[in-house]
């Protein structure tokens, strides 16, 4: 089997570390792993296949001879180094939002539109984490009848804001328990025992940037240019795994039984839907694995062709790192 030289841009962050972990888990055929990060992290080591690999400072010359670059860096760094990656002949699978809506850059969820990955010009974008989890959950229904509209509410774990989000929640819980004061820095307000109904900046219509990703990215991934999505994104005091409530309307009516059967056999999904036994998706059950759990499937009582469901998925893995590596796997098949 051919072996590939793989670089991870942003290797020391939460998603970068998860990428390296999953490359090992999935036995990706790697001849050399090159962890890249800022000068501050250069010289530190990361474990890969039982050995310590030294993190290198990223420069424009870091990509010579590299086959695939997995991006786990912020937009600014992705935009800065993308031209150098492409010029070196590597394929850049980027987890930032920098290129997602570029018409020349595929936006890929391998369970949904794998063929799009092969239409790249050197860059392939990984979608937003909530978008990935939601669309994996509803794709089987969309194949039965095209989705016209979706109303979604996301309940997003603090780790979606990076490792600092987890630390802040832990420190706030400890401070409150001990009667001490604290000052939030990652989130605009206390997140412990609280909900914050804002992720991203607001636009002129009152929606946040995070909320609009569901519609804009969903149209591109599902190849549904007229799809309409109303979304509310909420940060919740959960460490890991995002949860999403979705009511969708399809062109033709679909029964609950048809929806359940389709989801049960869909790639990337696990049907967990037995309300009588109190069995339904929850963040604790979906953390540190790659399936999207789907349950609470029922007919919407407001719209004629509506189906309502609840889904959960690990946003660090399937919502980011694993999805990127699945895209890389498509490239080497």
- Quote the mean pLDDT of the chain: 97
Rg (CA), the chain: 20
pLDDT digits (tens, 9 = 90+) for 296-331: 999 999 999 999 999 999 999 999 999 999 999 999
Tell me, what's the pLDDT at 40? 94
Per-residue pLDDT band at 135 (split at 50, 70, 90):
very high
Share of the chain above pLDDT 70, in %: 100
The answer regarding whether domain 4-127+320-332 maps to CATH 3.40.50.720 reads: yes
Find out whether 223 and 109 touch, Cβ atoms under 8 Å. no
On the question of pLDDT at 89 being above 90, the answer is yes
Catalytic annotation, residues: 129, 242
Q: Model-level pTM?
A: 0.97
pLDDT digits (tens, 9 = 90+) for 216-258: 999 999 999 999 999 999 999 999 999 999 999 999 999 999 9
Phi first, then psi, for residue 80 (nearest 5°) are: -65, -40
Q: What is the mean pLDDT of residues 26-31?
A: 98
Tell me, what's the pLDDT at 117? 97
Give, in degrees to the nearest 5, the angle at Cα 319 between 28 and 314: 100
158 vs 240: CA distance, rounded Å: 7
Q: What is the mean pLDDT of residues 126-146?
A: 98
Q: What is the mean pLDDT of residues 270-295?
A: 98
Q: What is the mean pLDDT of residues 182-199?
A: 97
Domain boundaries, the chain: 4-127+320-332, 131-316
Q: What is the mean pLDDT of residues 37-45?
A: 95
DSSP assignments along 14-72, one per residue: HHHHHHHHHHHHTT--EEEEEEEE-TTTTT-EEEETTEEEE-EE--TTTTTT-SEEEE-
On the question of pLDDT at 90 being above 90, the answer is yes
Tell me, what's the pLDDT at 1? 82
Separation in Å, CA 145 to CA 23, 81, 138, 248, 313: 35, 41, 11, 11, 24
Tell me, what's the pLDDT at 73? 96
The superfamily CATH assigns to domain 131-316 is Dihydrodipicolinate Reductase; domain 2 (3.30.360.10)
């Amino acid at each position: 089997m051919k072996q590939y030289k793989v670089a991870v841009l942003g290797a020391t962050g939460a998603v970068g570390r998860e990428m390296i972990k999953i490359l090992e888990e999935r036995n990706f055929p790697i001849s050399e792993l090159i962890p890249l990060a800022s000068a501050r992290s250069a010289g530190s080591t990361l474990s890969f296949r039982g050995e310590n690999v030294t993190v290198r400072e990223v420069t424009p010359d870091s990509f010579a001879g590299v086959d695939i670059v997995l991006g786990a860096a912020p937009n600014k760094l992705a935009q800065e180094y993308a031209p150098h990656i492409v010029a070196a002949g590597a394929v850049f699978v980027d987890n930032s939002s920098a290129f997602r809506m570029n018409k020349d850059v595929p936006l890929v969820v391998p369970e949904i539109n794998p063929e799009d990955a092969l239409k790249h010009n050197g860059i392939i974008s990984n979608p937003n984490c909530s978008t990935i989890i939601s669309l994996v959950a509803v794709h089987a229904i969309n194949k039965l009848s095209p989705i016209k509209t979706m109303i979604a509410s996301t309940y997003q774990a603090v780790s979606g804001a990076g490792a600092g989000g987890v630390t802040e929640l832990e420190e706030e819980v400890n401070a409150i328990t001990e009667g001490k004061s604290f000052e939030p820095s990652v989130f605009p307000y206390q997140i412990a025992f609280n909900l914050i109904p804002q992720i991203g900046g607001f636009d002129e219509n009152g929606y946040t940037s995070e909320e609009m990703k569901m519609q804009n990215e969903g149209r591109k991934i599902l190849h549904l240019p007229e799809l309409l999505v109303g979304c509310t994104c909420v940060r919740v005091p959960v460490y890991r795994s995002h949860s999403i409530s979705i009511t969708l309307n399809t062109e033709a009516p679909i029964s609950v039984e048809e929806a359940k059967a389709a989801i049960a056999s869909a790639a990337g999904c696990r049907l967990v839907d037995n309300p009588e036994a109190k069995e339904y998706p929850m963040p604790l059950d979906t953390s540190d694995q790659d399936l999207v759990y789907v349950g609470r499937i029922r007919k919407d009582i407001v719209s004629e062709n509506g189906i309502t469901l609840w889904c959960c998925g690990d946003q660090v893995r399937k919502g980011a790192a694993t999805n990127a590596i699945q895209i890389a796997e498509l490239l080497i098949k």
